[in-house]
Amino acid sequence: MNINKATIDLIKAFEGCKLTAYKDVAGVWTIGYGTTARAGLGIIPVEGMTITQDEADRLLLDGLNKFADQIRPMLPADINDNMFGACLSLAYNIGVSGFGRSTVLAKLRDGDYARAADAFLLWNKAGGGKVIKGLVRRREAERKLFLTPVFEQMPAFDERTSPAQSTTVQASALQIASGAGAGVAAIGSLSGTAQIVALVFAGIVVLAGMWIMKERLRKWSLGDR
Protein backbone atom coordinates (compact mmCIF):
# COMPACT_ATOMS: atom_id res chain seq x y z
CA MET A 1 0.00 0.00 0.00
CA ASN A 2 1.82 3.05 -1.32
CA ILE A 3 0.95 6.75 -1.56
CA ASN A 4 0.55 7.31 -5.30
CA LYS A 5 0.41 10.51 -7.34
CA ALA A 6 -3.38 10.26 -7.79
CA THR A 7 -3.77 10.42 -4.02
CA ILE A 8 -1.48 13.41 -3.59
CA ASP A 9 -3.16 15.26 -6.46
CA LEU A 10 -6.62 14.65 -4.97
CA ILE A 11 -5.60 15.85 -1.52
CA LYS A 12 -3.85 18.94 -2.89
CA ALA A 13 -6.88 19.81 -5.01
CA PHE A 14 -9.34 19.71 -2.11
CA GLU A 15 -7.13 20.98 0.70
CA GLY A 16 -5.76 23.85 -1.34
CA CYS A 17 -2.58 25.54 -0.23
CA LYS A 18 -2.53 28.65 1.90
CA LEU A 19 0.82 29.93 3.09
CA THR A 20 -0.79 32.12 5.76
CA ALA A 21 -2.62 30.51 8.66
CA TYR A 22 -6.42 30.45 8.44
CA LYS A 23 -9.39 28.90 10.21
CA ASP A 24 -11.03 25.93 8.48
CA VAL A 25 -14.79 25.30 8.37
CA ALA A 26 -14.60 23.83 11.87
CA GLY A 27 -12.78 26.88 13.23
CA VAL A 28 -9.39 25.14 13.55
CA TRP A 29 -6.23 27.09 12.72
CA THR A 30 -4.71 25.57 9.61
CA ILE A 31 -1.82 26.24 7.23
CA GLY A 32 -0.37 24.82 4.01
CA TYR A 33 -2.31 21.84 2.67
CA GLY A 34 -4.63 21.48 5.64
CA THR A 35 -1.92 21.08 8.29
CA THR A 36 -3.17 21.61 11.84
CA ALA A 37 -1.61 21.28 15.27
CA ARG A 38 -3.39 17.91 15.63
CA ALA A 39 -1.16 16.49 12.87
CA GLY A 40 1.75 16.48 15.32
CA LEU A 41 4.30 17.65 12.75
CA GLY A 42 6.02 20.18 14.99
CA ILE A 43 4.01 23.17 13.81
CA ILE A 44 1.14 24.93 15.57
CA PRO A 45 -0.65 27.29 13.18
CA VAL A 46 -1.72 30.55 14.75
CA GLU A 47 -3.08 33.80 13.43
CA GLY A 48 -0.52 35.65 11.30
CA MET A 49 1.79 32.65 10.78
CA THR A 50 3.29 32.22 7.29
CA ILE A 51 5.34 29.47 5.64
CA THR A 52 7.00 28.95 2.26
CA GLN A 53 5.71 26.71 -0.54
CA ASP A 54 8.56 24.26 0.09
CA GLU A 55 7.58 24.07 3.75
CA ALA A 56 3.94 23.48 2.78
CA ASP A 57 4.94 20.63 0.44
CA ARG A 58 7.17 19.08 3.10
CA LEU A 59 4.45 19.30 5.75
CA LEU A 60 1.98 17.62 3.40
CA LEU A 61 4.30 14.69 2.63
CA ASP A 62 5.29 14.32 6.29
CA GLY A 63 1.64 14.34 7.29
CA LEU A 64 0.61 11.84 4.64
CA ASN A 65 3.41 9.46 5.60
CA LYS A 66 2.46 9.73 9.26
CA PHE A 67 -1.22 9.11 8.59
CA ALA A 68 -0.36 6.27 6.20
CA ASP A 69 1.70 4.51 8.87
CA GLN A 70 -1.23 4.80 11.28
CA ILE A 71 -3.98 3.47 9.02
CA ARG A 72 -2.08 0.68 7.21
CA PRO A 73 -2.42 -1.78 10.14
CA MET A 74 -6.20 -1.18 10.15
CA LEU A 75 -6.74 -2.11 6.51
CA PRO A 76 -7.03 -5.44 4.66
CA ALA A 77 -3.74 -6.38 3.04
CA ASP A 78 -5.25 -6.96 -0.40
CA ILE A 79 -6.45 -3.43 -1.18
CA ASN A 80 -4.72 -1.62 -4.03
CA ASP A 81 -2.96 1.75 -3.97
CA ASN A 82 -6.05 3.67 -5.17
CA MET A 83 -8.20 2.15 -2.42
CA PHE A 84 -5.50 2.96 0.09
CA GLY A 85 -5.17 6.50 -1.27
CA ALA A 86 -8.90 7.14 -0.91
CA CYS A 87 -8.77 5.93 2.68
CA LEU A 88 -5.71 8.06 3.36
CA SER A 89 -7.44 11.16 1.98
CA LEU A 90 -10.43 10.49 4.21
CA ALA A 91 -8.25 9.92 7.28
CA TYR A 92 -6.22 13.06 6.53
CA ASN A 93 -9.47 15.01 6.48
CA ILE A 94 -11.35 13.49 9.42
CA GLY A 95 -8.48 12.22 11.55
CA VAL A 96 -7.22 8.72 12.28
CA SER A 97 -9.67 8.21 15.14
CA GLY A 98 -12.57 9.26 12.91
CA PHE A 99 -11.41 6.86 10.22
CA GLY A 100 -11.02 4.11 12.80
CA ARG A 101 -14.71 4.28 13.69
CA SER A 102 -15.94 4.89 10.16
CA THR A 103 -18.31 2.67 8.21
CA VAL A 104 -15.73 2.77 5.42
CA LEU A 105 -13.27 0.82 7.55
CA ALA A 106 -15.95 -1.48 8.97
CA LYS A 107 -17.13 -2.51 5.48
CA LEU A 108 -13.54 -2.97 4.29
CA ARG A 109 -12.89 -5.35 7.16
CA ASP A 110 -16.08 -7.22 6.26
CA GLY A 111 -14.80 -7.58 2.69
CA ASP A 112 -17.74 -5.56 1.35
CA TYR A 113 -15.80 -3.17 -0.85
CA ALA A 114 -18.84 -1.89 -2.75
CA ARG A 115 -20.50 -0.66 0.45
CA ALA A 116 -17.17 0.65 1.71
CA ALA A 117 -17.00 2.84 -1.41
CA ASP A 118 -20.50 4.18 -0.81
CA ALA A 119 -19.70 4.84 2.85
CA PHE A 120 -17.26 7.58 1.85
CA LEU A 121 -20.26 9.71 0.95
CA LEU A 122 -21.47 9.72 4.58
CA TRP A 123 -18.65 12.03 5.67
CA ASN A 124 -20.01 15.21 4.13
CA LYS A 125 -20.81 17.28 7.21
CA ALA A 126 -18.91 19.77 9.35
CA GLY A 127 -19.57 20.78 12.94
CA GLY A 128 -23.27 21.06 13.75
CA GLY A 129 -24.25 18.44 11.18
CA LYS A 130 -24.34 20.89 8.27
CA VAL A 131 -23.69 19.39 4.84
CA ILE A 132 -20.74 21.15 3.17
CA LYS A 133 -20.63 21.22 -0.64
CA GLY A 134 -16.84 21.00 -0.67
CA LEU A 135 -16.98 17.85 1.46
CA VAL A 136 -19.63 16.37 -0.81
CA ARG A 137 -17.33 16.85 -3.81
CA ARG A 138 -14.33 15.48 -1.94
CA ARG A 139 -16.15 12.35 -0.80
CA GLU A 140 -17.33 11.74 -4.36
CA ALA A 141 -13.76 12.11 -5.62
CA GLU A 142 -12.47 9.72 -2.95
CA ARG A 143 -15.14 7.18 -3.84
CA LYS A 144 -14.20 7.46 -7.52
CA LEU A 145 -10.51 6.95 -6.71
CA PHE A 146 -11.38 3.98 -4.49
CA LEU A 147 -13.27 2.32 -7.36
CA THR A 148 -10.61 3.06 -10.01
CA PRO A 149 -8.60 -0.08 -10.84
CA VAL A 150 -4.83 0.08 -10.68
CA PHE A 151 -3.38 -1.35 -13.87
CA GLU A 152 0.03 -2.96 -13.99
CA GLN A 153 2.68 -0.93 -15.75
CA MET A 154 3.35 -2.05 -19.29
CA PRO A 155 6.68 -3.91 -19.54
CA ALA A 156 9.46 -1.72 -20.90
CA PHE A 157 11.00 -2.51 -24.22
CA ASP A 158 14.53 -3.90 -24.11
CA GLU A 159 16.95 -1.01 -24.25
CA ARG A 160 19.15 -0.95 -27.32
CA THR A 161 22.82 -1.30 -26.40
CA SER A 162 24.42 -1.07 -29.85
CA PRO A 163 23.85 1.10 -32.95
CA ALA A 164 23.60 -2.13 -34.93
CA GLN A 165 20.24 -2.74 -33.21
CA SER A 166 18.80 0.43 -34.74
CA THR A 167 16.33 -0.33 -37.52
CA THR A 168 17.41 2.88 -39.26
CA VAL A 169 21.05 1.78 -39.29
CA GLN A 170 20.03 -1.66 -40.50
CA ALA A 171 17.93 -0.20 -43.32
CA SER A 172 20.73 2.18 -44.30
CA ALA A 173 23.23 -0.68 -44.48
CA LEU A 174 20.85 -2.61 -46.69
CA GLN A 175 20.41 0.44 -48.91
CA ILE A 176 24.18 0.87 -49.27
CA ALA A 177 24.62 -2.81 -50.08
CA SER A 178 21.82 -2.68 -52.64
CA GLY A 179 23.28 0.42 -54.31
CA ALA A 180 26.73 -1.12 -54.48
CA GLY A 181 25.25 -4.32 -55.87
CA ALA A 182 23.40 -2.37 -58.53
CA GLY A 183 26.63 -0.65 -59.51
CA VAL A 184 28.47 -3.94 -59.89
CA ALA A 185 25.60 -5.34 -61.95
CA ALA A 186 25.63 -2.28 -64.22
CA ILE A 187 29.34 -2.70 -64.93
CA GLY A 188 28.82 -6.34 -65.87
CA SER A 189 25.66 -6.09 -67.93
CA LEU A 190 25.52 -2.60 -69.44
CA SER A 191 27.72 -0.44 -71.59
CA GLY A 192 28.01 3.12 -72.80
CA THR A 193 25.50 5.72 -71.67
CA ALA A 194 23.24 3.17 -69.94
CA GLN A 195 26.14 2.01 -67.81
CA ILE A 196 27.01 5.58 -66.79
CA VAL A 197 23.37 6.37 -65.85
CA ALA A 198 23.11 3.17 -63.82
CA LEU A 199 26.39 3.85 -62.04
CA VAL A 200 25.34 7.44 -61.20
CA PHE A 201 22.01 6.21 -59.82
CA ALA A 202 23.74 3.49 -57.80
CA GLY A 203 26.18 6.07 -56.46
CA ILE A 204 23.33 8.34 -55.37
CA VAL A 205 21.67 5.42 -53.56
CA VAL A 206 24.92 4.57 -51.77
CA LEU A 207 25.63 8.18 -50.78
CA ALA A 208 22.09 8.67 -49.51
CA GLY A 209 22.37 5.51 -47.40
CA MET A 210 25.71 6.63 -46.01
CA TRP A 211 24.29 10.05 -45.09
CA ILE A 212 21.28 8.53 -43.33
CA MET A 213 23.51 6.12 -41.40
CA LYS A 214 25.87 8.96 -40.42
CA GLU A 215 22.96 11.04 -39.09
CA ARG A 216 21.55 8.08 -37.17
CA LEU A 217 24.94 7.36 -35.57
CA ARG A 218 25.27 11.04 -34.65
CA LYS A 219 21.87 10.99 -32.91
CA TRP A 220 22.80 7.73 -31.17
CA SER A 221 25.90 9.39 -29.75
CA LEU A 222 23.62 12.13 -28.35
CA GLY A 223 21.46 9.57 -26.55
CA ASP A 224 18.62 9.12 -29.06
CA ARG A 225 18.25 5.33 -29.00
Catalytic residues: 15
Can you give the three-state secondary structure of the chain, one letter per residue?
Answer: CCCCHHHHHHHHHHHCCEEEEEECCCCCEEEECCECHHHCCCCCCCCCCECCHHHHHHHHHHHHHHHHHHHHHHCCCCCCHHHHHHHHHHHHHHCHHHHHCCHHHHHHHHCCHHHHHHHHHHCCECCCCCECHHHHHHHHHHHHHHHCCCCCCCCCCCCCCCHHHCHHHHHHHHHHHHHHHHHHHHHHHCCHHHHHHHHHHHHHHHHHHHHHHHHHHHHHHCCCC
